[in-house]
């Protein structure tokens, strides 16, 4: 095994590569220069694990050499694909230490620092998002897992109210559970419903408006048709348009339903993977007004908070239902020390857990309340700047009301071209040019290009360079420029 001198050489090598990569982000092309197939071809030349190993330094050098061409500059300021934030310096430093400390953040007594920092960072999140003080939470891999955890707690809560212990009795012959969702919900909701055994047939689809917002009147109509357990899934931040469901109205509708049917048979969940952070910015908090009325929330720290990947946040106002849905027991899980606090592992799907609280705490501590407000506000202002520059170009139409950080652009295709295929090829051409990296989407049945502005390092210059490059590539594809 490595001695101290080998560790020093290895970590210095990782540090030097990391610094060189960070310095390159302002100028390097965003798209990777190698495909998965090309990289797999290189790796397949070593078709079996060698009999003899090698030094750690050699292994790391080989990794850097082979992987670098296939690394997308997702942490750079002009990556606008999906909804992926960059990485704050304090969060990266904390993430490195997390790997060195190598704590299993499942049992609290075995990893007291991990448990304490997770609990503190979650309390800070709850405070900044203006959620009920009694809200409990846990850090998971991302918004998919966060939605899963929250809806597992919801399933447990509404079935318990119906006299059914789903943790003991399972779902066979259980009372039916309706799940009300909008036509513009994120697909992670569907996946969570499937994983929870409810099945897609449990889902009822509620009308939305032209921006993808749930209609509270349609929710009221569907609730009037519900006589049993029901879970309503609302959205803070449509993945395409960035629009917010009328959360305050939906909360009022649920309150009316509960007055008639009782408190326990309904649950309001908010998928706020990126949009819930509007509540941390004074200028945008109104968009998510009423979010505090929900029973559970899912969000991501690797979006607006710019924490390295693998830091989703699941929150509920019902600790008993949350714990009941996720609990795990075993005498060997204790370190032997007494603790008055709950083990984080009993609120999460996984028992062996990365200590995500260190990086989340570091990001929040670096930003503070004011810095978080400024970060969210700046990204939204840059999205409007991108809108202005792209919207002024001939042939380009902004499809959404840019209320937050998402911009959806329609590029007019040449006469006779297949709209969807032409748009797909245009996006690939923009990515290949290298200045920025948007991604394709289908929104309101129309093929379009989506830009998500959510990186802490993005500047107005990045926006100007990106808009110019996008317009230039578009005109080249039309044959208007050589």
CA neighbor of 155 nearest in space, from 135, 145, 170? 170
Answer whether residue 1 shows pLDDT above 80: no
246: left (phi over 0), alpha (psi -120 to 50) or beta: beta
Answer whether residue 363 shows pLDDT above 90: yes
- Which pLDDT score is estimated for 261? 87
CA 160 to chain centre: 30
| SS3 label, residue 129 | coil
In angstroms, rounded to a whole number, what is the distance separating the alpha carbons of residues 5 and 97?
18
Q: Span 195-212, mean pLDDT? A: 95
**pLDDT tens digits for 317-352?**
999 999 999 988 766 666 555 555 567 888 999 989
- Which pLDDT score is estimated for 341? 57
In angstroms, rounded to a whole number, what is the distance separating the alpha carbons of residues 427 and 442?
13
CA neighbor of 188 nearest in space, from 280, 26, 312, 283? 312
Helix (H) or strand (E) holding 56: helix 56-67
- Which pLDDT score is estimated for 265? 92
Whether the CB-CB separation of 441 and 240 falls below 8 Å is answered with yes
Answer whether residue 100 shows pLDDT above 80: yes
Task: For residue 336, give both structure tokens.
Answer: 């032997």
By CB atoms closer than 10 A (0-12, 13-18, 19+), residue 472 is middle
In angstroms, rounded to a whole number, what is the distance separating the alpha carbons of residues 95 and 446?
40
How many residues belong to the chain?
482
- Which pLDDT score is estimated for 48? 83
Q: Span 367-381, mean pLDDT? A: 98
Sheet strand arrangement including 406-411: 396-398, 406-411, 446-452, 439-443
CA distances for 176 relative to 202, 267, 326, angstroms = 8, 14, 21
Q: What is the mean pLDDT of the chain?
A: 94
pLDDT band at 169 (very low <50, low <70, confident <90, very high): very high
For the entire predicted model, the pTM comes to 0.96
Whether the CB-CB separation of 361 and 115 falls below 8 Å is answered with no
| Residue of higher predicted confidence among 315 and 225 | 315
| Residue of higher predicted confidence among 24 and 106 | 24
Residue in the block written with tokens 């670098």: 68
CA 101 to chain centre: 25
Task: For residue 476, give both structure tokens.
Answer: 């080249």
- Domain assignments of the chain as residue spans, ordered by start: 4-30+32-71, 95-363
C-alpha count within 13 angstroms, C-beta hemisphere, residue 449: 31
Give the max Cα distance, the chain. 73
- Which pLDDT score is estimated for 308? 97
In angstroms, rounded to a whole number, what is the distance separating the alpha carbons of residues 365 and 372?
10
Beta bridge partners of 16: none
Q: Which residues contact 248 (CB under 8 A, 6 or more apart)?
A: 289, 290, 293
In angstroms, rounded to a whole number, what is the distance separating the alpha carbons of residues 178 and 193?
11
Answer whether residue 431 shows pLDDT above 90: yes
**pLDDT tens digits for 458-481?**
999 999 999 999 999 999 999 876
Answer whether residue 383 shows pLDDT above 90: yes
DSSP symbol at 213: P
pLDDT band at 307 (very low <50, low <70, confident <90, very high): very high
- Which pLDDT score is estimated for 271? 98
In angstroms, rounded to a whole number, what is the distance separating the alpha carbons of residues 251 and 270?
11
- Which pLDDT score is estimated for 439? 97
Q: Span 189-214, mean pLDDT? A: 96
Answer whether residue 159 shows pLDDT above 70: yes
pLDDT band at 153 (very low <50, low <70, confident <90, very high): very high
In angstroms, rounded to a whole number, what is the distance separating the alpha carbons of residues 7 and 482?
53
Helix (H) or strand (E) holding 477: helix 460-478
pLDDT band at 227 (very low <50, low <70, confident <90, very high): confident
Answer whether residue 446 shows pLDDT above 80: yes
Strands (E), 176-241: 177-182, 203-206, 229-235
The angle that helices 143-161 and 187-195 make with each other, rounded to 10 degrees, is 50
pLDDT band at 109 (very low <50, low <70, confident <90, very high): confident
CA 183 to chain centre: 19
User: Taking the domain 95-363, which CATH number applies?
Assistant: 3.40.640.10
């Amino acid at each position: 095994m490595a001695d101290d001198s080998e560790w020093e050489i290895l970590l210095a090598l990782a540090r030097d590569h990391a610094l060189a990569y960070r310095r390159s982000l302002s100028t390097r092309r965003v798209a990777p220069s190698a495909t998965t197939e090309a990289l797999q071809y290189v790796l397949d030349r070593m078709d079996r694990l060698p009999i003899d190993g090698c030094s750690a330094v050699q292994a790391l050098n080989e990794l850097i050499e082979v992987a670098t061409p296939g690394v997308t500059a997702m942490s750079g300021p002009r990556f606008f694909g999906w909804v992926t934030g960059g990485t704050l310096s304090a969060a990266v430093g904390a993430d490195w230490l997390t790997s060195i400390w190598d704590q299993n953040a499942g049992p609290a007594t075995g990893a007291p620092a991990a448990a304490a920092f997770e609990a503190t960072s979650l309390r800070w999140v709850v405070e900044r998002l203006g959620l009920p003080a009694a809200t409990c939470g846990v850090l998971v891999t991302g918004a998919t897992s966060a939605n899963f955890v929250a809806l597992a707690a919801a399933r447990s809560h509404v079935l318990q109210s119906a006299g059914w212990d789903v943790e003991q009795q399972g779902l066979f012959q259980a009372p039916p559970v309706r799940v009300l969702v909008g036509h513009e919900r994120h697909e992670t909701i569907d996946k969570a419903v499937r994983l929870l055994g409810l099945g897609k047939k449990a889902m009822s689809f509620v009308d939305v408006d032209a921006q993808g917002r749930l209609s509270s009147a349609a929710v009221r109509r569907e609730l009037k048709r519900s006589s049993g357990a029901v879970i309503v899934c609302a959205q803070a931040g449509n993945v395409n348009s960035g629009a917010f469901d009328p959360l305050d109205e939906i909360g009022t509708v649920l309150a009316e339903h509960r007055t008639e049917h009782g408190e326990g048979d309904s649950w309001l969940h908010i998928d706020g993977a990126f949009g819930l952070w509007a509540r941390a910015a004074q200028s945008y908090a109104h968009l998510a007004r009423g979010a505090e009325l929900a029973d559970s929330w899912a969000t991501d720290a690797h979006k607006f908070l710019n924490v390295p990947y693998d830091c989703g946040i699941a929150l509920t106002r019902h600790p008993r239902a949350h714990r009941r849905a996720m609990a795990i027991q075993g005498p060997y899980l204790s370190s032997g020390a007494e603790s008055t606090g709950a083990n984080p592992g009993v609120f999460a799907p996984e028992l062996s857990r990365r200590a995500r609280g260190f990086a989340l705490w570091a990001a929040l501590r670096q930003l503070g309340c004011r810095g978080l407000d400024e970060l969210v506000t700046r990204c939204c202002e840059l999205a409007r700047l991108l809108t202005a520059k792209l919207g002024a170009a001939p042939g380009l139409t902004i499809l959404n009301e840019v209320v937050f950080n998402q911009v959806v652009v329609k590029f007019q295709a040449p006469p006779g071209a297949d709209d969807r295929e032409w748009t797909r090829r245009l996006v690939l051409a923009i990515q290949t040019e290298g200045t920025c990296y948007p991604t394709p989407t289908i929104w309101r049945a129309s093929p379009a290009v989506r830009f998500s502005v959510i990186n802490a390092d993005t500047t107005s210059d990045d926006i100007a360079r990106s808009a110019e490059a996008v317009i230039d590539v578009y005109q080249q594809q039309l044959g208007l420029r050589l």
